[in-house]
Amino acid sequence: MANFAIMGFGTVGSGVAEVLRMNGASIAEKLGERLTLKYILDVRDLSASPYASLVVKDFALLENDPELDVVVESIGGAKVAYEFPRRALLAGKHVVTSNKELVATRGRELLEIAREKNVNYLFEASVGGGIPVLRPLFQCLAGNQIQEIAGILNGTTNYVLTRMVEGGVPFDAALREAQEKGYAEANPAADVEGLDAGRKICILADLAWGGEVRPEAIRIQGIGDLSLEDVDAARALGYRIKLLGRALALEDGRVAAYTAPHLVPEKNPMAGVDGVFNAVMIRGNAVGDVMLYGRGAGDLPTASAVMGDVIDALQHRTRRRELGWSESADLAGLDELAMPWYLRGDFAAPADCRTLSGGAGMTKTMTAGEAKALAEKLGAEVILPVLQ
């Protein structure tokens, strides 16, 4: 019999318990042993929960239990949620998390501890929710040199942009709608400012190229400055606006990563990914383009990925999963990347700039630095990269 604990019994944590309740028999068949939820660590009053008998408030009980195999961290953030997983790893427990902030900012350190203690630190659910993304990247596509990763990595912003495009709903109203439906938090800053997607593209870049890419080291642009003018101008040209996290391997060995709203051609499969769905495109030198698509959030989709990691950790008890990253990546700045750019403002478009409706234009291919200089010269209010 294998035992695990859940730390933080919110949306994800309770979803993990529900997945075990629904699928416990088939999980046991895959493992070859019964999987038992032994503890739930949470400071709230859960006396009305059907799992009340499992609730504890002292982490030391988990830390010092020699029969506890895996700890699931679903607390969130990078404070308390850092200390408990660190201590669990040091105590020889496998740790599974859906916490993208923690993985993006402290993953390197926690993976080093896991390596030293010969245990697993797994985080499939930290990117893409229920979509299998990380394991295909480091396992199924291991025979490739990864050239580029681009993805719709945040369901909240994708829902807002979908409503702006399909319903003609202004940004503020679309965001309120997302909050009313439970897709956006009361404080949606991490989503609409691009921070959430930025953390996720860093994790993908970490695994793809083995060097640490920290969120504070990359350029992150959100969707707060977009208007229906931008949506209409893009649509007139055959584009959709999507918030993408993007990372590329450059010919000189450096890595470039950033997050920004892009004009995406309608013929690109990601242009049709709407609502709260996510999609990740991975380009390998052998396989070409692969796109992974599905629900990027929600209790059961995310819990599905968490449970997959729990099973994987237990199946690799004696020989841990070899994954991670070490030294800082050699980063290139966004100013060095060349692509067309969308500009919007009260200006006359230059002769070599494609004029759009609504006082907007699309430049020829140029570096981000050149596009920024042109935007400043013209007084453009909005500047967005165009995916080719």
Single out the residue of 326, 328, 100, 339 nearest to residue 217, CA to CA.
328
DSSP label at residue 347: S
Single out the residue of 363, 318, 314 nearest to residue 338, CA to CA.
363
3-state secondary structure of 386: strand
Single out the residue of 81, 86, 113, 94 nearest to residue 2, CA to CA.
94
Helices 171-180 and 155-167 cross at an angle (nearest 10°) of: 130
Token duo for residue 271? 């242009």
Who contacts 264 (Cβ-Cβ below 8 Å, separation ≥6)? Answer: 239, 240, 241, 242, 244, 270, 271, 387
Which one of 93, 100, 200, 242 is the catalytic residue?
Answer: 200
Q: How far apart are CA 170 and CA 229, in angstroms?
A: 10
Pairing state of beta strands 239-249 and 146-152?
A: antiparallel
**CB 253, CB 147: distance < 8 Å:** no
Q: How far apart are CA 353 and CA 237, in angstroms?
A: 14
CB atoms within 10 A of CB 43: 11
DSSP label at residue 328: B
Q: Is 30 an annotated catalytic residue?
A: no
Q: How far apart are CA 285 and CA 268, in angstroms?
A: 19
Secondary-structure percent of the chain, ordered helix, strand, coil, rounded to 5: 40, 25, 35
Token duo for residue 166? 């399909």
Q: How far apart are CA 42 and CA 50, in angstroms?
A: 14
Residue positions annotated with a catalytic role: 200
